[in-house]
Structure 1
Amino acid sequence: MKEKKKYTKSDIVFNTVNYGIFAILTLICVYPFYYMIINTISNNNLSANGGINFLPKDMHLENYRQVLKLKGLSLAAGISAARTVIGTACTVFASAYLGFMFTQEKMWKRKLWYRFLVVTMYFNAGIIPVFLTMRALHLTNTFWVYVIPAIVQPFNIILVKTYVESIPKSLQEAAEIDGAGFFRIFYKIILPTCTPILATVAIFAAVAQWNSFQDTLLYITDQKLWSLQYLLYTYINQANSLATLVKNSTGTAMNMAALATTQTPTSIRMTVSVVVVLPILFIYPLFQRFFVKGIMIGSVKG
């Protein structure tokens, strides 16, 4: 039988302090999300006055029913979901392909193009030249302005390149001897082998696409193309007027029970924030098992 490990007093003290510190850090990270959620399902008057801190009071779901009725929310959610799915897929494929290409010695001027790619991480033209470029390419007020500029991400390409360099070259050499071409090697060997780092890139790309609102602010004037994050931004800025509109739509005769569910600026901010944040929180755990492995292996070499 395997003997139980005996812990010394110093081991017990170390483990206790270690677990205690990580428990506090976990609480610090989790509490803001918990605070938002309990404020969205609690008495709105208490929430507006700062009376909800640890436990919900007078629970209800009216905030979610009202916020989900806000004009343009479903359309904006569809735009955000579409840009996240399409943009992430394009970014992952481009990162995988270019990362693989930069490891191939046969590539023409490989080092020159790689250095040129790295330089773009440190220098950019600025907002006005970029806007003029997007307008010249007829990308403003189109859905593709969300996708095309974000396809090539130097940091992600460097991660994939470093990961591919850790794969034994004998795999590619054996495939070449068997007659496999360049693209066959990429699809049959490199892509399946790079699953951890590609999952890591997918997390980075999905979070960036879902959370982005500045591109809508700069390039989009058509409300049908607004993203959910930009809609959140406008709703938060207009929280007082939105609360008044929702309050008026529920009628003028209010009793004490109805006052608890009457929309306030705080309830709108909290509820819309939860609606926007929850989807990405549910998606992240699906890729978590690949994330640590991918980011560690992808950062070993420079």
Structure 2
Amino acid sequence: MSIYGKKAVAKTGNKKPMSRSDKIFNVVAILVFLVLTFICVYPFYYLMICTISDQKMVDLNQIIMIPHGINFRNYVEILGVQNLANSALISVLRTVGTTALSMVCTSYMAYFFTKQNMWGRKFWYRFTIITMYFTAGLIPVYLNNQMLGLNNTFWIYIIPAAISVYNMVLVKTNIESMGPELEESAYLDGAGYMTCFFKIVLPLQTPILATVSLFTAVNQWNDFFTTKMYITNTKLYTLQFLLYELLNQVAAAAEQIDVSGPGAAITPTGIRLTLTAVVIIPILCVYPFVQRFYVKGLMVGAVKG
């Protein structure tokens, strides 16, 4: 390489120095995002430090940034609340089971709504969309579930949530943006609808499926109204409903907990904070694994060309 070539390479490798206005902008942007991050993170941080701090100081609002009198008695004693472990198991089984079934049913329904040769496609699609805006009402739905034998069974958590129309629309839009070429090639090789769906379409829907899975899992994990309406068997209570009951009867909950022995006293405020932490920690642990698909899944199919 000639000397001129080396100079050209060296010249292209040099970065343009930032102007003063660019530096100021970058500093301001970093500060703004740090403030926004602090605003988002601090409530969770405050919740956690309050659950492990001296409860008397928490009641007096003396805990702000640093925990004092660190102890884990709140968590140890909360685990002794009657039916807590079973309720946690029911919540996990409900969340995992409903999310898995909903992903299969919703995506399968969305796939067939993309087929132009589906009988009555426009009618059935519009009929399905209407259910997003109009429902039969609480009493007819309750009676319908009762006639189906779902009330006061574990299946009341699973079967009614098998289809989500909103999630179906998202998946349908994503499948339509993929184009028909791959499926047409598979049809020429003798593949049917089921083969195309499970071996071609579904593997390409990872971003949108991760997004709607997060929607479904969060909704199922946080829901307590289904238990309140349809369940009377205490063995089928979810963790969220148990939290709801304990928060409404916090005095009775405090009596269930053994407050004798060394360590900081257990207070009603400590019960509220610790139960809240126990409920939100699992779903917070799940979010980082699907976060990288979240924005991509929402944006897929948004641009039409």
Please classify the TM superposition score into its range, dividing by the shorter chain length.
over 0.9
Residue identity matched to 1:117: T
* Residue 29 of structure 1: aligned partner: 40
* Residue 232 of structure 2: aligned partner: 221
Once residues 183 and 16 of structure 2 are traced to their aligned partners in structure 1, the CA distance between those partners, rounded to angstroms, is 45
2:22 is the counterpart of 1:40: no
TM-score by length of 1: 0.93
2:68 is the counterpart of 1:57: yes
Count matched residues. Answer: 293
Larger of the two Rg values belongs to structure: 2
CA RMSD of aligned residues (A): 1.4
Distance 1:298 1:142, change over 3 A: farther
2:184 is the counterpart of 1:173: yes
1:97-108 equivalences in 2 (<5 Å): 97-108=108-119
* Residue 264 of structure 1: aligned partner: 267
The Cα of 1:299 is off from its aligned counterpart by 4.0
Secondary structure of 1:26's counterpart equals helix
Once residues 207 and 162 of structure 1 are traced to their aligned partners in structure 2, the CA distance between those partners, rounded to angstroms, is 22
The Cα of 1:30 is off from its aligned counterpart by 1.0
* Residue 274 of structure 1: aligned partner: 277
Once residues 168 and 110 of structure 1 are traced to their aligned partners in structure 2, the CA distance between those partners, rounded to angstroms, is 19
Asked if 2 retains the 8 angstrom alpha-carbon contact of 1:103 and 1:165, the reply is: yes
Deviations 1:46-105 (A, max 9, x none): 112211111100100110000011100000001000000100001111121111111111
Once residues 216 and 192 of structure 1 are traced to their aligned partners in structure 2, the CA distance between those partners, rounded to angstroms, is 34
* Residue 116 of structure 1: aligned partner: 127
TM-score by length of 2: 0.92
Residue identity matched to 2:286: I
Asked if 1 retains the 8 angstrom alpha-carbon contact of 2:52 and 2:71, the reply is: yes
Structure 1: state its 5+ residue gaps.
Answer: none
The Cα of 1:131 is off from its aligned counterpart by 1.3
Secondary structure of 1:82's counterpart equals helix
1:60-209 equivalences in 2 (<5 Å): 60-209=71-220
2:305 is the counterpart of 1:294: no
Residue identity matched to 1:281: L
The Cα of 1:298 is off from its aligned counterpart by 4.4
Once residues 277 and 173 of structure 1 are traced to their aligned partners in structure 2, the CA distance between those partners, rounded to angstroms, is 45
Once residues 26 and 125 of structure 1 are traced to their aligned partners in structure 2, the CA distance between those partners, rounded to angstroms, is 42
Residue identity matched to 1:68: L
Secondary structure of 2:178's counterpart equals coil
The Cα of 1:16 is off from its aligned counterpart by 2.4
Asked if 1 retains the 8 angstrom alpha-carbon contact of 2:52 and 2:70, the reply is: yes
